[in-house]
A and B are shown apart, each in its own frame.
Chain A
Amino acid sequence: MGESDQAAIRAILSGDKEAYGALVVRHSQSLFRVAFRITGNEADADEVVQEAFLRGYRQLESFQLRSSFGTWIYRIAVHCALDRIGSRKVEDPGRIAPGTDSDPMDLPLADEAAGPERLLLSREIGEMQENAMHSLTPIERTAFVLRHMEDLTTEEIASALSIAPNAAKQAVFRAVQKLRLRLAALRVNV
């Protein structure tokens, strides 16, 4: 952990609340990135960032100064994002898994056109990817994002999600299998 993070945490625990501002400023962007990748939603990602820093502040007394604050708060953010997509699924099943009932073969066909049509196609592909991501369970989605997009190892994913390494590995496998199945149409038609 950077000396500056360590010094800030000592100051906070000594009563200097404003010192937490420096940590928030320093780590907000990375938390927003992972929160957005997991939730797939800008507003949710903003709320995850705030909630993560709030939880972090409340649990700061339990933080081990030998550890990295960045890693610690990152894990809290992952948990917050996981909670959010989990609750979203309960509140609005249709929102988390749009298009899950559609046949992959109903996906729009692509051609080799360039220009605006190609851009439109790219956007459609992006939407299909996002729909495919929404078909995953919260754990599968989070594990896949951490593995595929955040380049975390299986051990790191397991630690971030508080699950066994083998469970983390299986979650990534299941996610990849489901995504490949849903995106099979792209492989054939694009």
Chain B
Amino acid sequence: MNGCRTWIKVVLLMLIGSIPLYAQINTADALNDSVMSGIGMDSVFAEVDSIAFADTLPLTAVDNIVAHDSPNDAGGVVELYWTLSRADVLGQGRVSGYQVLRSEASADEFRIIARLGPGTDRFVDTNAPAAVDYKYIIRTLTYSGDFVDSEVSPVVSSSGQWFRPQYIPIIVAIVVIAFLMFITRRLPVMDEIWIFPSIRNLAETVIKPHTEPLVYVPGTGSYSCMATIASITLMEQLIELMREHDNDMEVNVSDPMTFSAATECLENLDHSTAYFISPDKAVFSMAYTHKMLTKPVETAILMGTMDDESLLLTEAGSRAGAFQIAGTDNVSQIPFLLSTCELTLIGEVLFLAGPQLSPDGYRAATLLHDRLKRIAWILLLLGILGAKLGWDWYIRLFETGVR
């Protein structure tokens, strides 16, 4: 009966999981098209009737030149737009292209800075130093060598901006998270918060009496990875637990800054050492394997960012007969950890493990995480609805870049 329920749950989850995929594909397609045409990356090709008198059309210059500073950059970029020459729109191939000429506003020395093909109605000047005034002329050319210049554009200068308005949703998100962090720490004591079973098992393993030092690996990523910081936080909590039960720890580290942090943590635990091995993952894996196979090991804990070497590390522990607990934020390594370790902390559970084991932090961390995930759920469900109902405004709230 239980097996049946599990199968039903799995099938339902797969079907539900497919829905956002199809919604997003449709949304991404629709958005992509609208954004691409909005910023005009495609050339403009006007529909024309068959013109028999193409060669007799008077050659006219482009007009309605708009020149402005490119927004949301560090300066140095000017954008130009214009209405195409009538001969280009109607002349069926008479216009061979355009030249962009530029001069400083105080002088009249125009130089050619770009050559564009026919049908082009925009140009981005990426060599316009900030705070220098420029003016532009667009020269229309024909295959027979004739040309005509447009009127001089308005004077424009580039400048750097101090803020990207597209990033307002990110600021809102940071403010909301900070606010939630603030209020969850001040919530009154409630009923016991649920602790992940895997985290509870991890704590129970660590406090069991050990005759050999517990081996700990804070991943193979650098200290700038969040997973490494989460691993060090977890290590601190495990050290507190082990101190009460007289267990020792041996930490094997591949990153030098993580080594400094680990050394400082272990000052609190007697007969425990941190070893810096190598930032090279292959070398670290082999040194770790050698240690695991030449010394008796009861328990090995591997927590943090790991790449392909995760299987090398866990297989070494498996061959040594150690009880292995692993956790990583690297999604692609999770199957290897599941097949070689007795206990695996997947993804976010690694980040929650340290706070959940700390005496004062677990309530706040768990509640904060719960609330953040609920908000994410609501936003995702609204997104699915929005994709189906055509709420482009809602989807655009989450577009934070140049697209």
Asked if A and B are interacting partners, one says: no
- Tell me the A residues contacting B by CB distance below 8 Å: none
